[in-house]
Amino acid sequence: MRWLILGGSGQIGEALGERLVGRGDTVVGTYRNRPPRVPGMEPLRWEKGGPTDLPWARLRPDAVIDAASFRFVDDCERHPDAADRINHRGTARAARGARKVGARYLLISTDYVFGAPTPAPHPESELPEPRCAYARSLRAAEIALLAEDDRSTIVRTSTVYSWRPRDLDVVPDLSAAPNFATWLVAETRARRPVRVVVDQVSAPTYAPDLADILVAILDHPDCTGVLHATGSTSLARYAWALRLLDAIGEAPDRIVPVTTASLGQAAPRPSNSTLGMARLTREIGRTMPDLDAQLPRWAHAVRASA
Ligand SMILES: NC(=O)c1ccc[n+]([C@@H]2O[C@H](COP(=O)([O-])OP(=O)(O)OC[C@H]3O[C@@H](n4cnc5c(N)ncnc54)[C@H](OP(=O)(O)O)[C@@H]3O)[C@@H](O)[C@H]2O)c1
């Protein structure tokens, strides 16, 4: 099989690339700034929403996995036109190219499409009501993608984290951090106090677990439309922070519990974006690991690189 991973240098793209290369498939992974570090994955520089099209005739993938987006939600709120250009129109354009060469398209989307305070967990059948520019742009991408080709798949996920030591070089502040867990480790090691919200509930998803389930979904070409795939523990961000630090043997004494309102973030966040995963269980026959199963592996990776 020939795979094209858009955002091949991201935490999801790299984890997925490792698995596909590992089983002997041909994988091209795009990047914008930092080339992917997966041995055997061919790097390709490309800007989503930019002027240059992907070299479809040369690549001729069997399937495209789109894990490339402008995903910093507060920046998206300040620059909604860029969010729409990259996340919505960039996806629509790439999907058109994929369809012309007969490639299936799988888009990674977000739990944030459920912005309204409707009861959680949100099933796949619930009509999304995005309330921030990031989520609106990805919801528009979902709609455009399904209109382009009804063989497409959308996998909504949530609060993805991983451990890649090189991410420590690019942890400016939480709003543009590679992921919350890496940011928390960086701040803890720097002995800085961190403010963490008590009133945003979601389901943390370990990137390697998401990559495993994505491979299973890709191996079911008949599995089209919307699927949800997150870790199977849902908890407030503050409770998660305590679990992360406990897993690596760090004291939580610099974590300050705060409310969302007190942070004055540019983009509104859902209060509970937990996703229902009935389709995943029914059609793929798999469930996702809970936090107890995720944390020892993440902590082992953190300790191994210390
Ligand atoms: N992380 C989460 O919690 C989460 C939750 C729900 C959904 N998602 C979705 O999952 C996808 C991947 O997330 P992730 O956590 O793997 O993100 P990530 O680690 O930040 O990776 C993002 C990838 O997209 C690339 N990229 C960003 N902007 C681009 C642009 N304008 N043109 C081309 N490439 C661009 C990045 O390249 P460079 O590194 O070279 O810039 C990188 O390869 C995103 O689409 C996101 O919306 C993520």
- The model's pTM: 0.97
Residue 89 within any structural domain of the chain: yes
Residue 80 within any structural domain of the chain: yes
Q: How many residues does the chain have?
A: 306
What pLDDT sits at residue 171? 61
Ligand 1 binding pocket mutation candidate from 27, 32, 213, 274 (most atoms within 8 A of CB): 32
Residue 119 within any structural domain of the chain: yes
Residue 262 within any structural domain of the chain: no
| Nearest atom, ligand 1, residue 7 CA | 43
Average confidence (pLDDT) over 125-142: 98
Alpha carbon distance 301, 67 (integer Å): 23
Alpha carbon distance 209, 158 (integer Å): 12
Alpha carbon distance 258, 194 (integer Å): 10
Work out whether strand 205-206 and strand 63-66 pair parallel, antiparallel, or are unpaired.
unpaired
Residue 155 within any structural domain of the chain: yes
| In the chain, % of residues over pLDDT 70 | 98
Structural domain that includes position 12:
2-160+206-232+274-290
pLDDT exceeds 90 at position 35: yes
pLDDT exceeds 70 at position 108: yes
- Cα of 7 vs centre of ligand 1, distance in Å, is 6
Alpha carbon distance 38, 9 (integer Å): 8
**Number of domains present in the structure of the chain:** 1
| Nearest atom, ligand 1, residue 36 CA | 43
| Nearest atom, ligand 1, residue 8 CA | 43
Residue 140 within any structural domain of the chain: yes
For ligand 1, say whether the CB of 86 is within 6 Å of any of its atoms.
yes
CATH code of 218's domain:
3.40.50.720
Residue 169 within any structural domain of the chain: no
Residue 253 within any structural domain of the chain: no
| In the chain, % of residues over pLDDT 90 | 94
pLDDT exceeds 80 at position 65: yes
